[in-house]
């Protein structure tokens, strides 16, 4: 088969890239290894409403619930809570969400080839000219790699693998008491080193619970977390798993004939590992540049570097701030977090948290981080408590 643009991977990044390339006139085929789009799921499905607007994804039957508030819980159980007056995020059914993106892609003419796993690049000297899989071969002027966090083809092509990879896991629990509309994030290095555990309400009796961890078996840790949160293990679904990416974007995202997007390029938020929105925004840029490459008949790395320029000028500052915040968080010990949470409560700073949640952007977190550190009361606490263990990271954040 010969097409102008060929995409590997039918997750959100691949689907956005394919949609964008096709709607700008390039003939595009997308190859997904599974028989259906969106399956098997791996994601907790918390997606910002503002982010969906940025991506022009309309509301639909993929929305399960709305979220307005968050509760952050320190290792010893000190809780900080903040609510927004308006819903900030949706809890989504990821398979349905991905299928909606697939319908949109099909509607503009993307050809989606299911049960097609790409295994090897096709080269013409140093230019990638397509790929092959079992029983198929596709030649394309531009290939877009949207394989997700387990990416192996991009490393085969000579690009980096993203860093900060964590084992992630989710289950849906039922018959529990949770506060509807409120997401809980539990920090505890014994349970979720490298990130946190989460409780995302599906309604007031059901929740999606999960965690990501840099070491150990995620399921065993999740069971311990469920015991801690619910005083016993509630009835739950079979777990679903995936890799959470927290290391920030890889240093180079294009080659001759190839662009890498989404989790495969590390385009998630280093603070949380969420990648549906930022990965989607980057993927749209790749789709746009792919269509331009087709109309110029030029898919050299020089031409495709426009993609990296575009996503970096849109999000480079965001990634720098969030990566720095992640490095700072990774240095904190449980007792530092306990001390910080207690100090924030004692100083009556929960009003500041409420303001940050109300005004803040869940995806573009740079401004929130800066606004928080510009508050003299919080800065004094942060310097006193966090400065002891992560002074250079804190200074880095202040100077960004």
Which residues of the shown chain bind ligand FAD in the complex (CB under 6 A)?
8-14, 31-34, 42-47, 117-118, 146-149, 153, 168-170, 210, 242-244, 262-264, 268, 273-277, 279
DSSP letters, 4-67, are EEEEE--SHHHHHHHHHHHHTT--EEEE-SSSSTT-S-----EEEHHHHHHTTPPP-TTEEEEE
Q: Which residue, 171 or 382, has its beta carbon nearer to ligand FAD?
A: 171
Residue 181: CB minimum distance to ligand FAD, A? 16
DSSP letters, 212-270, are EESSS-HHHHHHHHHHHHHSS--EE---EEEEEE-S---S--EETTEEE-GGGGT-S-T
How far apart CA 90 and CA 287 sit, in angstroms, is 26
Residue 302: CB minimum distance to ligand FAD, A? 25
Q: Which residue, 200 or 381, has its beta carbon nearer to ligand FAD?
A: 200
Q: Which residue, 196 or 341, has its beta carbon nearer to ligand FAD?
A: 196
| 213 backbone dihedrals φ, ψ, rounded to 5° | -145, 145
How far apart CA 73 and CA 7 sit, in angstroms, is 41
Whether 94 and 87 have beta carbons less than 8 Å apart is answered as no
Q: Which residue, 119 or 392, has its beta carbon nearer to ligand FAD?
A: 119
Q: Which residue, 166 or 381, has its beta carbon nearer to ligand FAD?
A: 166
Q: Which residue, 146 or 176, has its beta carbon nearer to ligand FAD?
A: 146
Residue 14: CB minimum distance to ligand FAD, A? 5
Q: Which residue, 282 or 397, has its beta carbon nearer to ligand FAD?
A: 282
Residue 347: CB minimum distance to ligand FAD, A? 31
Q: Which residue, 180 or 350, has its beta carbon nearer to ligand FAD?
A: 180
What is the dihedral angle through the alpha carbons of 61, 54, 25, 154, rounded to the nearest 10 degrees? Answer: -90
Residue 364: CB minimum distance to ligand FAD, A? 14
Residue 94: CB minimum distance to ligand FAD, A? 7
DSSP letters, 110-122, are PEEE-S--EEEEE
Residue 119: CB minimum distance to ligand FAD, A? 7
Q: Which residue, 281 or 343, has its beta carbon nearer to ligand FAD?
A: 281
In the numeric block, which tokens belong to residue 240?
Answer: 């679903």
Residue 160: CB minimum distance to ligand FAD, A? 15
DSSP letters, 282-331, are HHHHHHHHHHHHHHHT---HHHHHHHHHHHHHHHHHHHHHHHHHHHHHHH
How far apart CA 226 and CA 232 sit, in angstroms, is 7
Burial class (CB in 10 A: 0-12, 13-18, 19+), 333: exposed
Residue 188: CB minimum distance to ligand FAD, A? 17
Q: How many CB atoms lie within 10 A of CB 150?
A: 12
How far apart CA 26 and CA 291 sit, in angstroms, is 5
Cα–Cα nearest to 163, from 260, 242, 273: 273
How far apart CA 366 and CA 326 sit, in angstroms, is 12
Q: Which residue, 212 or 343, has its beta carbon nearer to ligand FAD?
A: 212
Burial class (CB in 10 A: 0-12, 13-18, 19+), 350: middle
Residue 36: CB minimum distance to ligand FAD, A? 10
């Amino acid at each position: 088969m010969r097409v102008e643009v060929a995409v590997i991977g039918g997750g959100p990044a691949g689907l956005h890239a394919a949609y964008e390339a096709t709607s700008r006139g390039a003939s595009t085929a997308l190859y997904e290894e599974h028989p259906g789009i969106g399956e098997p799921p791996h994601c907790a499905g918390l997606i910002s409403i503002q982010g969906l607007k940025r991506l022009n994804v309309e509301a639909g039957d993929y929305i399960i619930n709305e979220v307005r508030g968050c509760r952050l819980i320190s290792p010893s159980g000190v809780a900080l809570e903040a609510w927004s007056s308006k819903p900030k995020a949706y809890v989504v059914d990821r398979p349905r969400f991905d299928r909606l993106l697939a319908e949109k892609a099909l509607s503009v003419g993307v050809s989606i080839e299911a049960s097609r796993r790409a295994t090897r690049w096709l080269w013409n000297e140093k230019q990638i000219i397509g790929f092959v899989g079992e029983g198929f071969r596709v030649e394309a002027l531009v290939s877009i790699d949207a394989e997700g966090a387990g990416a192996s083809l991009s490393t085969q092509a000579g690009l980096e693998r993203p860093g900060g990879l964590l084992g992630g896991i989710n289950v849906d629990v039922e018959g529990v008491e949770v506060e509807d509309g409120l997401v809980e994030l539990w920090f505890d290095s014994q349970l979720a080193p490298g990130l946190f555990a989460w409780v995302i309400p599906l309604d007031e009796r059901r929740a999606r619970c999960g965690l990501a961890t840099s070491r150990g078996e995620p399921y065993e840790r999740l069971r311990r977390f469920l015991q801690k949160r619910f005083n016993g293990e509630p009835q739950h679904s079979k777990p679903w798993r995936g890799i959470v990416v927290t290391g920030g974007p890889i240093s180079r995202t294009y080659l001759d004939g190839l662009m890498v997007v989404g989790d495969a390029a590390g385009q998630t938020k280093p603070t949380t590992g969420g990648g549906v929105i930022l990965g989607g925004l980057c993927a749209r840029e790749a789709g746009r540049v792919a269509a331009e490459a087709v109309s110029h008949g030029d898919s050299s790395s020089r031409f495709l570097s426009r993609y990296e320029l575009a996503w970096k000028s849109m999000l480079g500052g965001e990634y720098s701030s969030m990566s720095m915040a992640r490095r700072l968080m990774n240095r904190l010990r449980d007792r530092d977090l306990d001390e910080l949470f207690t100090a924030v409560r004692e100083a009556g700073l929960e009003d500041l948290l409420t303001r940050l949640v109300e005004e803040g952007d869940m995806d573009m977190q740079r401004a929130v981080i800066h606004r928080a550190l510009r508050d003299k009361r919080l800065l004094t606490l942060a310097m006193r408590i966090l400065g002891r263990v992560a002074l250079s990271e804190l200074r880095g954040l202040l100077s960004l």
